[in-house]
Structure 1
Amino acid sequence: MEQASIPEYARQLYEAHGDKAIAEAAQKAATLEKEGRREEAQTWRRIEEALKEMRGPPHS
């Protein structure tokens, strides 16, 4: 996946799964890491980070 498409994919994932999207991206990355698929796992970690940025800082 190209770097430029990651924010768009993250947005679509958030629209489809809401607050669960971050956890889903993290789980996908972890699964891929266990399978030794490092490049794909890195892409999912970037998607996870993009989702966190979209969410913004935690509120207290």
Structure 2
Amino acid sequence: MKDLNRALKEYQGHFGENYPLCVSGTRSTEEIIADIELCIDSGKMAEPPEYGEDEDY
């Protein structure tokens, strides 16, 4: 996979949910695609971040 949009569609097709892009704010496109490929290959969905109630983001 080299195209982010295609990778996101494959993730959605595989898991039935969108990839949590909020976890990728500081990553390059290549790193995001690699993570999506790893998720699909391992069968494990990406974990969204946990937000604290008293934290400002």
Alignment TM-score > 0.5, same fold: no
Q: TM-score range by the shorter chain?
A: 0.3 to 0.5
Q: What's the TM-score once normalised by structure 2's chain length?
A: 0.32
- Whichever of the two has the greater Rg, that structure is 2
Q: What's the TM-score once normalised by structure 1's chain length?
A: 0.31
The structure with the largest helix share of the pair is 1
